Amino acid sequence: MDWLVSDTYEYRSEDFEPGTTGYKFLTLAAHCMRGNVLINTSKGHIGLGSPSAQPGDKVCVLLSCDPPVVLRAVDKNGYLLIGSCYVHDLDDGNDLLGSLPDNLRTVNIFHKDAGGHSRAFLDKGSGKVSFADPRLGRMAVGFAEFCRAVERDPFEGINLSPEVLIEHGVNVEYFDIC
């Protein structure tokens, strides 16, 4: 496998001229943002979401659902799914799993063969990179097996049960989605 790890990039204007990879990226990013609006949450997060989002809607991380979603209470019995959203700082798992240890930070890895990005964890002291989130060790049943699977395929997800999350202090709510 051929992995590229980068946490910094020195921007040069020639990298974004028509026909370059940078230009293609910016064009794609602008296309992906089309139809979205800036949103902010009561916890101070900012992101992109549906223009239908309104103050009072909930931004939620639903188990086994990627990305976060916007839900609106329709009555005391249910919620309406407004749409998906991107909220900066929710994609790092801190709301569910807590902060990373001080010696670690997240990095994005690009895998040329698979043509995709994956989040990984860089040990700032040793320089070692791992795809297994160290915060899951105390939660996941069969964590060693999970780590081996993620090292083989970093695009593989993990499903944690609500019971395990509650046991570890995560605020879990149940929603009826209309």
Shortest CA distance to 128 belongs to which of 145, 112, 151, 149? 151
Mean pLDDT of 169-176: 77
Residue 140 pLDDT more than 60? no
- What's the mean pLDDT when you consider all of the chain? 75
Residue 3 pLDDT more than 50? no
Residue 7 pLDDT more than 50? no
The residue behind tokens 């020639």 is 14
List 105's β-bridge partners, or say none: 122
- pLDDT of 105 reads 85
Q: What is the pLDDT of residues 15-34, one digit of tens each?
A: 778 888 778 877 877 777 78
Q: How buried is 123 (Cβ within 10 angstroms: 0-12 exposed, 13-18 middle, 19+ buried)? A: middle
| Under 8 Å between Cβ of 100 and 90 | no
Q: What is the pLDDT of residues 74-132, one digit of tens each?
A: 887 789 999 888 887 676 677 667 778 889 888 877 766 666 667 788 899 999 988 77
Residue 49 pLDDT more than 80? yes
| Under 8 Å between Cβ of 78 and 175 | yes
- pLDDT of 103 reads 92
Give the pair of three-digit tokens for residue 122.
């860089």
Q: pTM above 0.85? A: no
Shortest CA distance to 156 belongs to which of 60, 59, 66? 66
| Under 8 Å between Cβ of 7 and 122 | yes
List 80's β-bridge partners, or say none: 72
Residue 23 CB partners (closer than 8 Å, separation 6+): 16, 17
